[in-house]
Amino acid sequence: RFAPRVFSGIKPSGGLTLGNYLGAIRRFVEVQDEGRFETIYCVVDLHAITVWQDPAELRAATREVAAGFLAAGIDPERSILFNQSQVSAHAELGWIFNCVARMGWMGRMTQWKDKAGKNAEAQSLGLFAYPSLMAADILLYHATHVPVGEDQKQHVELTRDIAAKFNHDYGVDFFPLPEPVIEGPAMRVMNLRDGTKKMSKSGESDMERINLTDDADTIARKFQKARTDAAPLPETVAGLEGRPEAKNLVEIYAGLAGITPQAVLDRHGGQGWGAFKPALAELAVETLSPISAEMARLVADPAEIDRLLARGAERARAIAQPILERTFEIVGM
Ligand code: ADP
Ligand code: NA
């Protein structure tokens, strides 16, 4: 009943990281190129402001994330690429879903618990409710599949719960129940200073993440300083258990090379970090430098990025507006 359609987004809450690339953007490009789905990709600035953003930095990060999509291979003709706040239907459907979703559902989200920590009272209401806006982002296009990193799978499940409750409460079969897309292993790239936390653009220190705009020296220095234990690399993946930092670096290598972690250990097992880290840095530079060069070229012409985003928003609106209007009708508006 629903055409195969993919929606996914990235927050412009800072520059893009290797985690965004391996866990999300690279897969978005694969899904686009595979051609089985209509693909809609969004720079989700309404999500970014759930935590205060400097306005000038938000504007710059919005263009940088758009440039990252394009540089990695998103084709603005084959995919719809746009900026969330330019399509007001996201906020409108988000409000309706705030009235469908339950407080308890939000409170159980592990990302909320991680981010709010012991200081929930001081967080914005938007940060608490953001999975409901994310459900609106997806369902506004009747998207059937959502390619996200492993860290977002719980929010896709919540989106299904919201769709199901809306359909049930209003006695309709209007919203699809979207599924997470698993194209290859869903990668979770961890922080270089603390292997138990995910690498994030909004993390505390620049040394804990690889930015897509980092130059070769910076990438080498960050891997050099990455925290590890003293033991050499094991010969098998079983030997990575209980060694989160070692596991992360091996998985990053595997992700960049497009091979399994065991294949990395077949090649590098028994080596010390003094040998492995430079090899990893070299591979990262080789993979990322064409992307960062293209990003720099694109960001140098902000008017062109804005033009592409405006065109993308127009195409997004053409799909979203009829779905929003039908939702209002169902609700009695
Ligand atoms: P960030 O945490 O860097 O702010 P977002 O929350 O905007 O990133 O997430 C954008 C996309 O990137 C999502 O699909 C998310 O699953 C993916 N992603 C973000 N960080 C990582 C990571 N460390 N490993 C794998 N995927 C990630
Ligand atoms: Na984040």
Given 201, 222, 247, 277, which residue is catalytic? 201
Q: Is residue 237 part of a domain?
A: yes
Which residues on adjacent β-strands are paired with residue 79?
Answer: 39
Residue 202 CA to ligand 2 centre (angstroms)? 5
62 and 150 in a single domain? The answer is: yes
C-alpha 26 to ligand 1 mean position (Å): 12
pLDDT in the model for residue 182: 63
**Amino acid at position 21, single letter:** Y
- Protein residue whose Cα sits closest to atom 26 of ligand 1: 23
Note the ipTM here: 0.95
Number of domain units in the chain: 2
Do 153 and 178 belong to one domain? yes
Q: Rg (Cα) of the chain, in Å, rounded?
A: 20
Calculated CA dihedral for residues 323, 329, 332, 333, nearest 10 degrees: 80
Binding residues for L-tryptophan: 137
Query: How high is the pLDDT of residue 183?
Result: 59
Q: Are residues 108 and 88 in the same domain?
A: yes
Residues 6+ apart with CB under 8 A from 210: 17, 18, 192, 199, 219, 222, 223, 284, 288
Q: What is the pTM of this model?
A: 0.93
Domain with residue 148: its CATH number is: 3.40.50.620
CB-ligand 1 contact for 11 (6 Å cutoff): yes
Atom of ligand 1 nearest to the CA of 20: 12
Q: Does a structural domain hold residue 206?
A: no
Q: What pLDDT sits at residue 184?
A: 58
Counting ligands in written order, which one lies closest to the CA of residue 47? 1
Closest ligand 1 atom to the C-alpha of 202? 4
Is 87 within 8 Å of 238 (Cβ atoms)?
no
Ligand located closest to 134 CA: 1
Residues 36 and 120 in one domain: yes
Q: What is the 3-state secondary structure (H, E, C) of the chain?
A: CCCCEEEEEECCCCCCEHHHHHHHHHHHHHHHHHCCCEEEEEECHHHHCCCCCCHHHHHHHHHHHHHHHHHHCCCCCCEEEEEHHHCCHHHHHHHHHHCCCCHHHHHCCHHHHHHHCCCHHHCCHHHHHHHHHHHHHHHCCCCCEECCCHHHHHHHHHHHHHHHHHHHHCCCCCCCCCEECCCCCCCCCECCCCCCCECCCCCCCHHHCCECCCCHHHHHHHHHHCCCCCCCCCCCHHHHCCCHHHHHHHHHHHHHHCCCHHHHHHHHCCCCHHHHHHHHHHHHHHHHHHHHHHHHHHHCCHHHHHHHHHHHHHHHHHHHHHHHHHHHHHHCC
Residue entry with tokens 């430079």:
278
Per-position pLDDT tens, the chain of length 333: 899 999 999 999 988 999 999 988 999 999 999 999 999 999 999 999 999 999 999 999 999 999 999 999 999 999 999 999 999 999 999 999 999 999 999 999 999 998 888 899 999 999 999 999 999 999 999 999 998 777 788 999 999 999 999 999 999 999 999 998 765 556 789 999 999 898 998 888 999 999 999 999 999 999 999 999 999 999 999 999 999 999 999 999 999 999 999 999 999 999 999 999 999 999 999 999 999 999 999 999 999 999 999 999 999 999 999 999 999 999 999
Same structural domain, 238 and 151: no
Domain of residue 290, residue span: 213-297
The pick from 20, 114, 152 for probing ligand 1's pocket by mutation, whose C-beta has the most ligand atoms within 8 angstroms, reads 20
> Is position 201 annotated as part of the catalytic site?
yes
Please check whether residues 181 and 275 belong to one and the same domain: no
Q: Which of 115, 222, 247, 277 is catalytic?
A: 115
Candidate list 198, 222, 247, 277, residue with the active-site label: 198
Domain assignment present for 293: yes
Is 93 within the bounds of a domain? yes
CA 41/CA 12 separation, integer angstroms: 13
The two three-digit tokens of residue 239, written as one number? 């030997």
Q: Which residues contact 216 (CB under 8 A, 6 or more apart)?
A: 285, 289
* Residue 8 Cα: closest atom of ligand 1: 14
Residue 171 CB: number of other CB atoms within 10 A?
Answer: 8
Give me the pLDDT at residue 38, please.
97
Backbone dihedral angles phi then psi of residue 83, each to the nearest 5 degrees:
-110, 125
Q: Are 82 and 174 within one domain?
A: yes
Would 202 be classed as within a structural domain? no
| CATH code: domain of residue 220 | 1.10.240.10
Q: Do 113 and 162 share a domain, yes or no?
A: yes
Q: What is the pLDDT of residue 185?
A: 59
- Number of CB atoms found within 10 A of residue 161's CB: 16
CB of residue 181 inside a 6 A radius of ligand 1 = no
Shared-domain flag, residues 149 and 54: yes
Q: Do residues 166 and 133 lie in contact, with contact meaning Cβ atoms separated by under 8 Å?
A: no
Residue 288 lies in a domain: yes
Atom of ligand 1 nearest to the CA of 14: 4
Task: Check if 165 is active-site.
Answer: no
Asked whether residue 204 is domain-assigned, the answer is no
Together in a domain, 316 and 291: no
What pLDDT does residue 23 have? 87
Cα of 211 to ligand 1 centre, how many Å?
12
* Residues 13 and 134 placed together within one structural domain of the fold: yes
Is the distance from the beta carbon of residue 152 to the nearest atom of ligand 1 less than 6 Å?
Answer: yes
Same domain, 37 and 133: yes
168 is a domain residue: yes
- Per-residue pLDDT, 162: 98
Q: Is 247 a catalytic residue?
A: no
Name the nearest CA neighbour of 63 among 310, 320, 316.
310
**Six token digits for residue 132:** 């409901």
